[in-house]
Structure 1
Amino acid sequence: RSPERTTRRNGTRPKTLATPAGEVDLQLPKLREGSFFPSLLHPRRRVDKALYAVICQAWIDGVSTRKVEHLVRALGNDTGISRSTVSRICGEIDEAVHEFLHRRIDHTWFPYLFLDATYLDVRHRGRVVSQALVVATGVSGEGRREILGMALGDAETTDFWTEFLRSLRERGLKVATDADPLGVIL
């Protein structure tokens, strides 16, 4: 209890949310004074994006589809979510990432190109290995930063960097034609 918290809980009320992944049954707390509505939920709106975000984050973190089903049950959906639905949702992520990584980048000229790499532990062919993730960030003439591309490889070798930079050029990265100090030379 505090001066700011003057009310008390008075049971719960059921709330069923319809999502494309299935219905989620929740128990929202009732208060003696005032009302409570979780910030995650919006009145009279579907929360499929929130549920999808939980599923996607779990998938990104390497949680199995079976454990995702248990997670959804723990969130209040008694029926859970099928493994095929989790796979379908994650397949949609794969498609979106593929589109992003192969989109054309010739919409503007980037006078600055920043290249960086980090090593991540990645599950590859049933085992966890350390791989290099390279990222190219462009800064447009207006000062807007944009991730232009990224790639995952075994190590930061000359061949890997050359292949990555050539893929950016093939996707439309505009390069300087002379040794302009503000230009990007590939």
Structure 2
Amino acid sequence: MALDQSALLDLLESLKAADADDVIRHALQAVLQALIEAEATAMIGAAPHQRTDQRTTQRNGHRDRLLTTAAGDLELKIPKLRSGSFFPSLLERRRRIDQALFAVVMEAYLHGVSTRSVDDLVKALGADSGITTWSMTS
């Protein structure tokens, strides 16, 4: 579907008015979510609500996954399956933060820095969630 010139100009104006970081974060989230859904579809053998003979199992909802990136925190939805398990290959299991950020937190802990100060430091480094949500999501 091609957009006409006025629609493209409207889109350009809305992108200019929006925060560039927000646009990048939403675009990255949409691309990653589409890749996750495509990989799940390939593994299952059928798209959501599609009936095929190649289907190996059914989807059973989603589970939330917070991914911290340089663009900000992304809220992704990982498909759950009725039988078997699925985890997208583009994500690493049990990895919630970048290794460099993890090293900073560990070093601060070893030096006796308070949790609140470390949380402020992590937020300043770009992780919107801070460290307070790590214990809840790990």
Give the structure-1-normalised TM-score: 0.22
Q: Which has the higher strand share?
A: 1
Q: Which has the higher helix share?
A: 2
Q: Which has the higher contact order (CA 8 A, sep 6+)?
A: 2
Q: Bigger radius of gyration, 1 or 2?
A: 1
